[in-house]
Structure 1
């Protein structure tokens, strides 16, 4: 399939009924779920026969705004070949220039809205695309919002995102709650598509996310059987839970630590992920609660090659979020055969069936979470939950996601061409 060169040159003719689509968003070497989703989206659109390319960032954030590791050396999933890196946070001239180029070469532009910090760049691109005012011109523009507004908000977040969404022709979000937030900020049509799994495996295996292996059969394993190697490092036979991913206040790690202290005394916890501040406070809380011999902190970004062993060493994944929209960690846990203990926020109640393949508790309630942990380790409960875990429907999820995304683009193009 011919794809346009993102560095420039003449645009290929659009295939019959298939618009040329540019995706503006993070991809490799940037890390994390949004970059993975952008990459997988491009692969999936290309598989459907679209001419698609990614316009990404050479410099995404100032270091002072994102103190952690922004890039990874090894790809977390297969990089998309038609990718350019024209965007930099410190080059506003490049924002408008990219928009002008896309206006000439693309039939549709998907702008992956990551954070209000990048709103000036989005607005520059939209201005170059001919969407600076009320009258839109040029390609159809779809704003793809993983979160319409950040979980931890600042004063200017809402007006910045409002300015972006009002200039887009349509908006795509992943939950009904996010659709309500978006509709309050723009008159543009808002569509909802459930987040499709974008799961990665160790790069050395060279397995594409779409072809990830089926979940292992853990049914019948005694609770804690898979944890022997990891728990022995803590000096005794302990059962083990996993908290995985970027550590931010809204994810409720402090709630989990308090629940662990009040829950079954022989259960250990691994915390694996990069801290967005608060690591010293977490270490202090671990000491205060007397959990030093039961909590293993593994701060820093988790390489894809290390993920299978982390999940294999745990009995369950715990998501004690105070707030949230959607989490790919449920799919990741189910891919590895683990039940999930989660709070009833965002899409977690739809992803975790209480008492079937996991347990649900109210957010921000250490006592309720402690009770759930005790229940998890009652005789037979963990085995019964694990037996009901099913791997995510990656192929079906992406087909439905692409259908909704393309319908949003086509609906906008029909309106623009009246």
Structure 2
């Protein structure tokens, strides 16, 4: 089958670009003829605080990648759609934000109905959403032939936005697409450090404020590293840490963390903490496990399916600082960090990708 994946790829950074690229590689390995239609300019700077691109690839680049789309060139959206209508049998638009809906609707209008279309939704709606987001996503989901979602909750949400066509809303768990990093053995372990790690973009739904409150209520010798880009700045969280009396116990590592720095970052922690209030899917459990770290996480989205409680991590309730403090206290009981670390195993991506391609492609 001839397939076009419309979405971010290098030099764009983060999980969305890695997923698009890995999906292209997997489809090609399965015998399909694949092209990535990526962006020359994806978002206006005002809509994405921070740097959008990276200088060094974090995985194998896909040779069939074109960068013909720009947010400020609607005529280009149409022209790419017209070209794809003559080139491919299937167009997959990768939805990371409702901001992408106008370009995608224009591209799909250009493609007419000659190719089958799928909306691959990393999030059907944003975690912090506005009314216009629902209207935009309802328009896009009504236009495509099928929708692929990554959790049962997201599948149900897409079905609510696409009444009368619920059978075409498919479900497949987001498969592993981790960055290429140095092997964990490249960094010598140093025993229990009494340091936890939060890693990733810092946004309200990620619950870093909950983690700070739990840190204040938990064992006083435990410290925390918060590493990643801050959506809207770190001032409020820094002020909260000072108010809670844990300001000296928090190390702030602001900005995007390149893949080459991940091994050292994870090696400096006893466990990764995912204090999410809500979630669809995340790579961070698998990323921690790839680096030999157990995980302390909330029962949000698909996270509980990746953590075997008491074997390679601990779980707690979302939005509950007291329960997270309880999990941190339990983690630091004598011998527990070592025992849980010994139970960590890297994920096998093969079965996940096999199920994913089956759900994505037409029957």
TM-score by length of 2: 0.96
List gaps (5 residues or longer) in structure 1.
1-18, 131-136, 206-212, 228-238, 412-418
> Residue 225 of structure 1 corresponds to which residue in structure 2?
191
Deviation at 1:226? Answer: 5.9
> Residue 39 of structure 2 corresponds to which residue in structure 1?
57
| Aligned mates of 1:371, 1:278 — CA distance in 2 | 29
| Aligned mates of 2:180, 2:23 — CA distance in 1 | 17
> Residue 372 of structure 1 corresponds to which residue in structure 2?
327
| Aligned mates of 1:305, 1:79 — CA distance in 2 | 16
| Aligned mates of 1:191, 1:321 — CA distance in 2 | 25
Q: Per-residue CA shift, 1:166-186, capped at 9, x if unaligned?
A: 111111111111110111111
Deviation at 1:126? Answer: 1.1
| Aligned mates of 1:323, 1:117 — CA distance in 2 | 21
2:142 to 141, 166, 174: 166
| Structure 1 vs Structure 2 CA RMSD | 1.6
> Residue 92 of structure 2 corresponds to which residue in structure 1?
110
Query: Are residues 79 and 361 of structure 1, via their aligned partners in 2, closer, same or farther at CA, if it must alter by over 3 Å?
Result: same
Does residue 128 (structure 1) correspond to residue 117 (structure 2)? The answer is: no
> Residue 264 of structure 1 corresponds to which residue in structure 2?
219
| Aligned mates of 2:312, 2:49 — CA distance in 1 | 36
> Residue 261 of structure 2 corresponds to which residue in structure 1?
306
| Aligned mates of 1:144, 1:379 — CA distance in 2 | 45
Structure 1 stretches of 4+ moved >2 Å: none
Deviation at 1:299? Answer: 0.5
List gaps (5 residues or longer) in structure 2.
none
Secondary structure of the structure 2 residue equivalent to 1:166: helix
Secondary structure of the structure 2 residue equivalent to 1:298: strand
Secondary structure of the structure 2 residue equivalent to 1:341: strand
CA contact (8 A) 1:226 1:313 kept: no
Does residue 35 (structure 1) correspond to residue 20 (structure 2)? The answer is: no
Deviation at 1:329? Answer: 0.1
Does residue 401 (structure 1) correspond to residue 356 (structure 2)? The answer is: yes
Deviation at 1:337? Answer: 1.2
Does residue 78 (structure 1) correspond to residue 57 (structure 2)? The answer is: no
1:195 to 157, 174, 179: 174
1:89 to 71, 78, 91: 71
**Count of residues in correspondence between the two structures:** 359
| Aligned mates of 2:47, 2:143 — CA distance in 1 | 26
Deviation at 1:162? Answer: 0.7
Deviation at 1:341? Answer: 0.5
| Aligned mates of 2:192, 2:336 — CA distance in 1 | 16
CA contact (8 A) 1:142 1:169 kept: yes
| Aligned mates of 1:293, 1:225 — CA distance in 2 | 22
Secondary structure of the structure 2 residue equivalent to 1:297: strand
CA contact (8 A) 2:81 2:111 kept: yes
> Residue 273 of structure 1 corresponds to which residue in structure 2?
228
CA contact (8 A) 2:192 2:337 kept: no
TM-score by length of 1: 0.83
> Residue 177 of structure 1 corresponds to which residue in structure 2?
153
